[in-house]
Amino acid sequence: MVLGEKPHKRVGPSPSWASPAGHLLPVSQQKRIRNRFQGHNSNNVLPHSNEAGTYHIGDVYTPLEQKRPWEINTDFMPYLKHIKNISRGWPSLSYLASWMEVTTSPVKWRHLTEEDRETRAKHTRVVMIDFPQDIDGEPTRTSINSIHELRRLFEQYDFNHSPDHSRLFVIEDLSRDVIEAFGSAYDIDPHFWRGHISDYLWYNTRDPWVELEELPHITRSRNFYHFRYVHPRYFKSKESQLRATQEARRMNVLRRLDDDRISASLLDEEQASVNMWRSKASLWLRRNGKHQKHTLGILIVDPSIKEGYPLWGKGFNFEPPPSLASKSVPAVPVPKDSLFEAVIHWTMKMSMQQLNELEGHPNTFAVAILSIIAIEWLTVKEYVTTRLTQIEWELEVPDFRGHGEKYGLDASLKWLHPFRRNVPRYRKWVTNILNGILGDKNLSPTDSKDQSLRDLREDFLIILKDLETLQAQVQDLVRVVTAIISIEEAKRSAEQNKSLARLTYLAVVFVPLSFVSSFFSMNSDIASLRTTFWIFFAVAVPLTLLSLSVTRWWAITRWLRRGRD
């Protein structure tokens, strides 16, 4: 498909074989599957899968002046029009403009009908939290579940976009109309949205969605932050995992599951697996109010997957349990199945101390989401430790040093590769948080208003240290497994050499005999051999001994020297 083509019209449901399993197939089968998908489209296709394809939208070298088939009228969209106008000077924003026009990953464009795009464009789930000015007040929550409600709120004559109190908007997922509404109302740097819409870990040389890192001093000057992390999720079967992938397809932002490929441990269910859900949260902050002492914030979080279970499925609670004397039971349960609701729950439970800190340090708005992210990293750390311990245990048991499909040295080495690749990436994401919103330059060691963020910095420093330890452990295990494989190969080679030596001795014994037999068999008169039969042994035995002596000459000479000593 070229850039001038229109999207296919989808008639009826997608074919039964157009399942999310396609992108999990071996590379050898990828081309065959891609051919089967040609001409078929699904509005919930996962970007960069076999169904979606890749470069039909053009590559990074396609001129920006070339008209895109998904372009829309921007006369009533000033923010989108602004992004398109400045994208010549900031090329990475051109992908954001395309994303807004398609209102999801542009790779999915040819799979979407006009109705699909319109539905995605209007998707809205926002909660506005207003914090009290005095100590006796309580935070108030306003839920906004449609773009019409959001526009109506912003257009109200008595709605103050810069109130004399702190306010936080929490957004789940993104859409074109939500970005347009907030971007137009608060003149938000487009890079804030651009950094949230994708989850790429690396880029090909042609990728138009490439997002290169900015200079560190430019990043530090921004009034927004992006927090990357992973959410470990347990699936009891491959079917459950594929249903979760289908949930990811329905999101506007690009989020994917990474399978660690370790589903064959003897202590696990046959079809069970643990996947790492690539996640991202983004926070934008601005001072507001007459005296600029209050904070306006926008926090974007990812939709939560309903399929499967959070790994070890216990949830979290940041409050200490009540004492026996209090005889009280929390009236409101802590949400554990929805990140969106969990962030709102813990944000609204901010203490007055934290609200006072908010006046001096706007970054305090990040306490709830950073606490949740820290819990996720602790779970990831525990999971990696569990898998590495299982591998070490199998290395210690000789019975597991075979070459089975579910265990063995080759399987252990294969299991280590995802950790060898991912743990350094996890370290980088934690380091980015420590160098960004929790950086030393943003926190004062003596200012009490920084206490909550200082506590979180200590937590993330411990997590970073633990990840460094795990990375060293992974590297050591790779070396150990490689060394054991070399030793086992050497043992097998030694056994093969012994077998070859036995064959050599047999050859040494029988070759002289065969030679003598052939030599004396040239006489066709068998009756005459009765008187000369002894000559065969008289010649063959000394000749065999001579051959053996030659092959073992080094051992004979050593034995003679030992006798003389």
pLDDT of residue 484: 81
- Domain contains 35: no
Domain end residue (candidates: 463, 488, 513) = 488
- Report whether 482 contacts 413 (CB < 8 A): yes
Examine residue 8 and state whether it is found in any structural domain, yes or no: no
What does the pLDDT read at residue 267?
Answer: 66
Q: Give CA torsion, residues 438, 439, 444, 448, to 10 deg.
A: 0
Q: Same structural domain for residues 444 and 541?
A: no
- Whether residues 52 and 93 share a domain: the answer is yes
The pTM (predicted TM-score) of the whole model is: 0.81
Q: Specify the 3-state DSSP secondary structure of 297.
A: strand
7 occurs within a structural domain: no
Is 345's pLDDT higher than 70? Answer: yes
pLDDT at site 521: 64
Residue 508 lies inside a defined structural domain of this protein: no
What pLDDT is stored for residue 536 in this prediction? 67
Q: How far apart are CA 72 and CA 118, in angstroms?
A: 12
Read off the DSSP letter of residue 22.
G
How does strand 167-172 pair with strand 294-301? parallel
Same domain, 442 and 550: no
Predicted confidence at residue 494, as pLDDT, reads: 78
Residues present in the chain in total: 565
Identity of the residue numbered 7:
P
In a domain, 325, yes or no: no
Residues 86 and 216 in one domain: no
CB 311 within 8 A of CB 377: no
The pLDDT score that the predictor gives to residue 12 is 41
Model confidence at 115: pLDDT above 70: yes
Same domain for 346 and 452, yes or no, is yes
pLDDT one-digit tens code per residue, 197-218: 999 998 888 888 888 888 888 8
How much is the pLDDT for 282? 97
User: Are 276 and 169 contained in the same domain?
Assistant: yes
Q: Are residues 137 and 263 in the same domain?
A: yes
Statement: residue 165 has pLDDT above 80: yes
108 and 91 Cβ atoms separated by less than 8 Å: no
Domain limits for position 542: 523-563
* Same structural domain, 301 and 390: yes
Does 17 map to a domain?
Answer: no
Q: What's the number of domains the chain is made of?
A: 3
Mean pLDDT for 481-510 is: 76
User: Does 216 share its domain with 292?
Assistant: yes
Residues 482 and 529 in one domain: no
Domain boundary among 98, 116, 134: 116
Question: Which residues are CB-neighbours of 50 under 8 A, at least 6 positions away?
Answer: 22, 23, 25, 30, 33, 34, 37
The answer to whether position 187 is within a domain reads yes
Domain boundary among 67, 101, 116: 116
Q: For residues 244 and 300, give the distance between their C-alpha atoms in angstroms, rounded to a whole number.
A: 21
pLDDT in the model for residue 204 = 87
436-483 pLDDT tens trace: 999 888 777 777 777 888 999 999 999 999 999 999 999 998 888 888
Residue 403: pLDDT over 70: no
34 part of a folded domain: no
Query: What is the mean predicted confidence (pLDDT) over 50-62?
Result: 68
Higher pLDDT residue, 15 or 298? Answer: 298
- Asked if the model's pLDDT at residue 55 lies above 50, the reply is yes
Confidence of residue 59 (pLDDT cuts 50, 70, 90): confident
Average pLDDT over residues 339-358: 83
